[in-house]
Amino acid sequence: MSQAASIAPQSPQRALDAGALTATTEVAPNLPAGLIKGLRNYWYPVLASEEVRPGKAVGFTALCENLVAWRDRAGAPQVVHDRCPHRSIRLSVGRVFDGHLQCILHGLRFDGEGRCVMVPWEESDERKSHWPCVAAYPARELGGYIWAYLGDTKSFPAPPLEGEVPQELTRPDEFIWFRLPTEVWKSNWLLAIDGSDAFHAVVLHAASQAVTEEKWTGGGVKHSQVPLGQRRMKIIETSHGIRAVSLDAENKPLHHGHFTVDVKGHRFALPCLTSNPIAPAPGAAPYTSRLWQFAIDESRTQIVRYAVWRARTQEERAHATKVFEEVALPRLKKVSSEDAFAAEAQGEVISARREEHLMRPDVDVVNVRRLMRKAFLEPLTENRRIDIPSDALVYPL
């Protein structure tokens, strides 16, 4: 058999234009220039449901694109590019009439598909095919969030949302989750995701996570009194990747609440989801932190997080509510503040990547970077979208 005959067929490669060629140029190891602006062709929880009120347009920015959301007559969310194609004013300052978004300047109206449905000076619809359109994105509402599929919907049609979100969001009878307020960090989104590695916590969050072994029965937890300067760590490999265990001066483990065995799903899933199962204190029901970190622009990151418990009965839901309010919420707020500080302290992403010296426990960080690089490049160079594995989003516990 000839060498040519033994080569498996591949997807046709795309001819890159100047913009795509610049975007694919690596500016640091595993860092194409365009990835700094975000990762397209995925669903994102761009807004909380309550932020999009009937009859009001809401402007926001995601993946370096200005967007606007509103609700149609049926209450379903709609998302389009935030510029009127007529004279380029922001549509987010417009009005909503009959479920359509009207430009405040000259009155053109648009539906959720981006089609112009009315030009106020046109007496008939005969020229409708020539009316300007605005770029639109698929939008859905689920789990208390407005989701938008931000990408090239012609080349990569939006997959069903239910297959690309955590398992619990489609099973409200089996789980209960509590949304934390959306945050904005002053850092690039890639640095934010870098900070979700599973071994920094025992150092950065030493004071906010480590608790005593005393059984929790209510109220705040009792934090470990082991001096920070006496603590060490042990690196271990788990089903969820590399994990660090905090040790005292006698090499006894401290309770940070991190699981090291019997964890399901993926710790990181595209496009930007980190899942972290936590047993916050002895006697408190374990939960999972679900965290999305995605680009607003090149220097700001949107943080969307909720804590979720498996809870079928009213008793289990009441216990989960108590643990959230008294234990998990204070912990997650403090952890998020510390993570934001660390991400912002790394400065600009290209310099941070060029000047770092990776070490053995960074293997998971490198794997995540390679996955995101692949997910960014392949739609541009191979005409292929990297799908989310079916087992990535199962509940970890």
Q: Each residue of 162-182: pLDDT tens digit?
A: 999 999 999 999 999 999 999
**What's residue 14's pLDDT?**
60
Provide the residue type at 153 as one letter: T
- Residue of 38 and 262 predicted with greater confidence: 38
Ramachandran category for residue 256: left, alpha or beta (phi over 0 → left; psi -120 to 50 → alpha)? alpha
Q: Which of 49-58, 140-149, 211-220 has the lowest mean pLDDT?
A: 211-220
Model confidence band, residue 113 (pLDDT cutoffs 50, 70, 90): very high
Q: What is residue 199's three-state secondary structure?
A: coil
In terms of Cβ atoms closer than 10 Å to its own Cβ (0-12, 13-18, 19+), residue 87 is exposed
Cα 203 to Cα 350: distance, rounded to the nearest angstrom: 25
Cα 117 to Cα 127: distance, rounded to the nearest angstrom: 11
b/e map 321-342, b = 16+ CB within 10 Å: ebbbebbbeebbeebbebbbeb
In this prediction, residues 211-232 reach a mean pLDDT of 91
Tokens of 247: 């040790």
- List where CATH 2.102.10.10 sits in the chain: 42-150
* Secondary structure percentages of the chain, helix, strand, coil, to 5: 30, 25, 45
**What's residue 66's pLDDT?**
98
Query: 95 near 110, Cβ under 8 Å?
Result: no
Q: Give the max Cα distance, the chain.
A: 84
Model confidence band, residue 6 (pLDDT cutoffs 50, 70, 90): very low
Q: Going edge to edge, which strands form the sheet with 65-71? A: 58-62, 65-71, 77-81, 136-137
**What's residue 198's pLDDT?**
86
- Residue of 250 and 95 predicted with greater confidence: 95
In this prediction, residues 354-366 reach a mean pLDDT of 96
Model confidence band, residue 88 (pLDDT cutoffs 50, 70, 90): very high
φ, ψ of residue 308 to 5 degrees: the values are: -130, 140
- List where CATH 3.30.530.20 sits in the chain: 166-381
CA 136 to chain CA mean position, Å: 21
Query: 383 near 41, Cβ under 8 Å?
Result: no
In this prediction, residues 263-287 reach a mean pLDDT of 96
Tokens of 381: 């160079």
Q: What is residue 116's three-state secondary structure?
A: strand
Model confidence band, residue 208 (pLDDT cutoffs 50, 70, 90): confident
Model confidence band, residue 13 (pLDDT cutoffs 50, 70, 90): low
**What's residue 262's pLDDT?**
87
| CA distances (Å), origin 163, targets 22, 171, 209, 272, 379 | 32, 13, 33, 15, 20
DSSP state of 394: S
Within 10 Å of residue 249's Cβ, how many Cβ atoms? 11
Model confidence band, residue 369 (pLDDT cutoffs 50, 70, 90): very high
46 has a pLDDT exceeding 90: yes
Average of per-residue pLDDT values in the chain? 93
In this prediction, residues 67-81 reach a mean pLDDT of 98
Cα 6 to Cα 1: distance, rounded to the nearest angstrom: 7
Q: What is residue 351's three-state secondary structure?
A: helix
- Residue of 256 and 13 predicted with greater confidence: 256
Closest CA to 83 of 102, 104, 66, 100: 66
Cα 145 to Cα 306: distance, rounded to the nearest angstrom: 11
CA quadruple 26, 31, 36, 42: dihedral sign: positive
Model confidence band, residue 347 (pLDDT cutoffs 50, 70, 90): very high
Tokens of 113: 């598909």
pTM, rounded to two decimals: 0.93
Percent of the chain with pLDDT over 70: 96
**CATH class of the domain at 42-150:** mainly beta
**What's residue 8's pLDDT?**
36
Provide the residue type at 255 as one letter: H
Cα 211 to Cα 136: distance, rounded to the nearest angstrom: 48
Q: 166-381: which CATH topology?
A: Alpha-D-Glucose-1,6-Bisphosphate; Chain A, domain 4 (3.30.530)
- Residue of 230 and 96 predicted with greater confidence: 96
Query: 252 near 227, Cβ under 8 Å?
Result: no
**What's residue 16's pLDDT?**
72
φ, ψ of residue 386 to 5 degrees: the values are: -85, 115
370 has a pLDDT exceeding 80: yes
